[in-house]
């Protein structure tokens, strides 16, 4: 179930704000009845009309973007900063990111107009594995990295066990490159996990999302997912969900 104004916006009829206005003006019908409540939730099979015209569902699209640093993972920003959807200005569909990467984090992010698909992938029960590569200050010891493998206490709870690899060290600069594979998506999780063992993150990149990688793309580039990849992601979400049950 989704909020009515969101469904109207995703169908490409109007912005979310304009959709709210249309609802308040009594121009929207659900199953033949005028609905003026902004919070109304509607399901997939409900018949929605705007100004007497039935809503056509936009055909779903799925993209993989190599997000550069300095870009917000959102469809709009009230401070006018660059957002991930700015890379898709030629597209005549309203897409939005699935989950988020910090402003300063680069790497793989998926975007779609398929709300159900996005919700499935973002649901904590189904979180697929994500692999991050971090450049950190100092050289972490094996013992400290093991703490991350076991799970570490953050202010919003203990993290689930992570897979951790020390990829390289630079003794002269006193920095290291660490790979972390996690299933969760707590806010700034990787930065906070590494902070918790005393190693500030200097640079962070998401390299993998399930089986998807950035192969063939450079920063700021995107590609469409194939129907097979979309199917595989759905299957992956449900098997990962089973793993966690």
Q: Which residues bind ligand URA (CB under 6 A)?
A: 101-102, 105, 132, 188-191, 204
CB of 189 to ligand URA, least distance (A): 4
The span from the CA of 121 to the CA of 66, in Å, is 18
- What would the DSSP string read from start to end of 76-110? --TT---BGGGGGTT--S--EESS---TT-EEEEE
Least Å distance, CB 113 to ligand URA, is 23
Given 92, 102, 104, 195, the catalytic residue: 102
> CB of 132: closest distance to ligand URA in angstroms?
6
By C-beta, is 5 or 105 nearer to ligand URA?
105
Give the nearer residue to ligand URA in terms of CB position, either 35 or 222.
Answer: 222
Using the minimum distance from each CB to ligand URA, give the nearer residue, 158 or 235: 158
CB-nearer residue toward ligand URA: 105 or 112: 105
The encoded tokens of residue 87 equal 């890379």
Please name which of 185, 67, 53 lies closest in space to residue 129, comparing C-alpha atoms: 185
**How many Å apart are CA 232 and CA 209, to the nearest integer?**
12
- The yes-or-no answer on residue 104 being catalytic is no
Phi-psi group of 183: left, alpha or beta (phi > 0 → left; psi -120 to 50 → alpha; rest → beta): alpha
User: Nearest Cα to 126, choosing from 232, 229, 211, 238?
Assistant: 238
Nearer to ligand URA, 30 or 182 (CB): 182
Pick the closest to residue 58 from 141, 131, 135, 114 (CA basis).
114
CB of 102 to ligand URA, least distance (A): 4
Task: Please answer whether residues 117 and 62 qualify as being in contact, where contact means their C-beta atoms are separated by less than 8 angstroms.
Answer: yes
Least distance in angstroms from the C-beta of 165 to ligand URA: 16
**Which secondary structure element, helix H or strand E, spans residue 229, and what is its range?**
helix 227-244
Residues involved in catalysis = 102
């Amino acid at each position: 179930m989704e909020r009515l104004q969101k469904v109207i916006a995703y169908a490409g009829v109007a912005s979310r704000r304009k959709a709210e206005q249309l609802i308040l003006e009594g121009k929207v019908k659900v199953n033949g009845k005028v609905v003026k409540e902004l919070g109304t939730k509607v399901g997939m099979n409900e018949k929605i009309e705007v100004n007497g015209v039935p809503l056509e569902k936009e055909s779903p699209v799925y993209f993989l973007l190599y997000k550069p640093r300095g870009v917000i993972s959102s469809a709009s920003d009230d401070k006018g900063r660059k957002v991930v959807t700015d890379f898709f200005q030629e597209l005549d569909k309203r897409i939005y990111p699935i989950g988020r990467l910090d402003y300063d984090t680069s790497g793989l992010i998926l975007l779609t107009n398929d709300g159900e698909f996005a919700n499935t992938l973002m649901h904590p029960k189904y979180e697929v594995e994500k692999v991050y590569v971090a450049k950190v200050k100092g050289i972490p010891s094996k013992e400290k990295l093991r703490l991350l493998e076991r799970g570490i206490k953050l202010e919003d709870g203990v993290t689930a066990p992570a897979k951790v690899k020390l990829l390289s060290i630079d003794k002269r600069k006193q920095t290291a490159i660490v790979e972390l594979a996690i299933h969760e998506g707590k806010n700034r999780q990787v930065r906070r996990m590494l902070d918790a063992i005393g190693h500030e993150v200097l640079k962070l990149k998401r390299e993998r999302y399930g089986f998807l990688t950035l192969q063939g793309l450079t920063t700021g580039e995107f590609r469409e997912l194939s129907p097979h990849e979309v199917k595989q992601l759905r299957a992956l979400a449900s098997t990962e969900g089973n793993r966690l049950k």
